[in-house]
Structure 1
Amino acid sequence: MKLPKTLSLTLSLLGLSLVSHTSLADVSANIGVTSNYLWRGVTQSADGPSVSGGLDYSHESGFYAGTWLGSIDWGNGNGVETDWYAGYSGEAGDFGYDLGYIYYAYPEEEYDDSDFGEVYLNGSYGDLGFGVAYTLNSDADDDAPFGKGDLYYHVSYSFALPQDYSLGLTYGYYSFDIDESMYGDWDYGHVQLDLSKGDFTFSVSKADEESGDDDTKFIVSWGTSF
């Protein structure tokens, strides 16, 4: 269940664009590997490594679309997460905005009834980032976890450091619209620290006990675009 992409929801890294001056559009590809694929503070790869790749299209109007695939393991066998997304991003004065829709698909039989889609709105002001995602449609029952109506909020702040290092801090909170008499309390928060240089990132992540995955995580990741 997926990014960073959000993001940490950041699937595409450095870009060498394939530019058409006629269409005023860019197409790029990305690949990556991580020692532990985390999504909203929770491992998607059974605390093991994961490889990923994707394609992105963007137009100077602000419209973009793309797809991303990553290897996963929820403890019921190896699988693949396939994300499809489209949206519109731009700036209004000092503020940046990004509005879109993302669909998380899991084609393997072991992951039946796991697909769902979200609408999201992300913003930025300087080094501050923030956003919210709402589960719009899901294969799960409406009153079950990851069903329709769930909300995820996040806020982040980044710092430029000497020698081309950067430091990012993210806090996220997942609020599930569920029948607590049947499923209990699933709401949880998580925090993540990312130290990056070039194509490499070292991360430390910690989620609340309600996430079901509250061990402190130490992750090394590499990714690039072309």
Structure 2
Amino acid sequence: MRQMHKALIAAALGSVFYSQASIAEVSANIGVTSNYLWRGVTQSADGPSVSGGLDYEHESGFYAGTWIGSIDWGNGNGAEVDWYFGYAGEAGDFGYDVGYVYYAYPEEEFDDSNFGEAYANGSFGALGFGLAYTLNADADDDAPFGQGDIYYHISYGFDLPQEYSLGLTYGYYDFDIDESVWGDWNYSHVQADLSKGDFTFSISKAQEESGDDDTKFVVSWGTSF
């Protein structure tokens, strides 16, 4: 599970295709982090994770791609494979990005974990906001990560001296579940990301209901070409 496909995308193929009618680009990315966090919760048992992906982007605003990262949910090591497509553009000072992402977990230990989301993100200057809605899932509809879950987020970025930047994010996960069976899973989380070049230092904290409420200190590196 990840919320990085727009922040750390692109690795192994970096070519550009031209025609008289359009320009399209294929890019690639690789990355490593001391702790793979997704919506405030570790996906790597608070250990390191490596990742890579490929992305196609057309001048019309259409894009598609795939991303793979190593995970550890405490029941064995595995991989997360994401597939996504969408459309992004600008209308004056307002930026928008709508699309669909499918989170797949191929290993047998992660049966019934696959799910897909529709997402809509916007930006106005340094302010970002958006939501993701679970459309389809292997889990039962009234279970966590089943159909109907909604994740909301808002962020703000600052430019700092010496080419540093600071990003602040608040997110809230609203699970559409049978609370008489599952209890209360809804939670919020906050994160601060200090970046320079290809490196990012993050501090993250989620509420107790997330099941992972320790304060996280994370160092990440990623590049695209």
Task: Give the TM-score normalised by structure 2.
Answer: 0.96
1:3 to 2:8 alignment: no
- RMSD after superposition: 1.3
Match of 2:15 among 13, 18, 29: 18
Aligned length: 222
Distance 2:14 2:58 in 1: 12
Distance 1:114 1:63 in 2: 28
Question: For the structure 1 residues 13 and 155, does the alpha-carbon distance in structure 2 shift closer, same or farther, using more than 3 Å as the test?
Answer: farther
Distance 1:73 1:100 in 2: 27
Which residue of structure 2 lines up, in the alignment, with residue 205 of structure 1?
A: 204
Residue 213 of structure 2 aligns to a residue whose secondary structure is coil
Residue 36 of structure 1 aligns to a residue whose secondary structure is coil
Task: Give the TM-score normalised by structure 1.
Answer: 0.96
Residue 223 of structure 1 aligns to a residue whose secondary structure is strand
Q: Are the counterparts in 2 of residues 3 and 11 from structure 1 also a CA contact under 8 Å? A: no
1:219 to 2:218 alignment: yes
Residue 181 of structure 2 aligns to a residue whose secondary structure is helix
1:74 to 2:73 alignment: yes
1:167 to 2:181 alignment: no
Distance 1:33 1:209 in 2: 27
Task: Report 1:29-48 matches (<5 A).
Answer: 29-48=28-47
Task: Report 1:61-210 matches (<5 A).
Answer: 61-210=60-209
Distance 1:62 1:4 in 2: 19
Q: Are the counterparts in 2 of residues 200 and 222 from structure 1 also a CA contact under 8 Å? A: yes
Q: Which runs of 4+ in 1 moved over 6 A?
A: none
Gaps of 5+ in 1: none
Distance 2:117 2:95 in 1: 20
Residue 143 of structure 2 aligns to a residue whose secondary structure is coil
| Counterpart residue identity of residue 19, structure 1 | V
| Residue identity (%) | 79
Gaps of 5+ in 2: none
| Counterpart residue identity of residue 33, structure 1 | V
Offset at residue 17 of structure 1 (A): 5.5
Offset at residue 18 of structure 1 (A): 2.5
Q: Are the counterparts in 1 of residues 10 and 55 from structure 2 also a CA contact under 8 Å? A: no
Residue 181 of structure 1 aligns to a residue whose secondary structure is helix
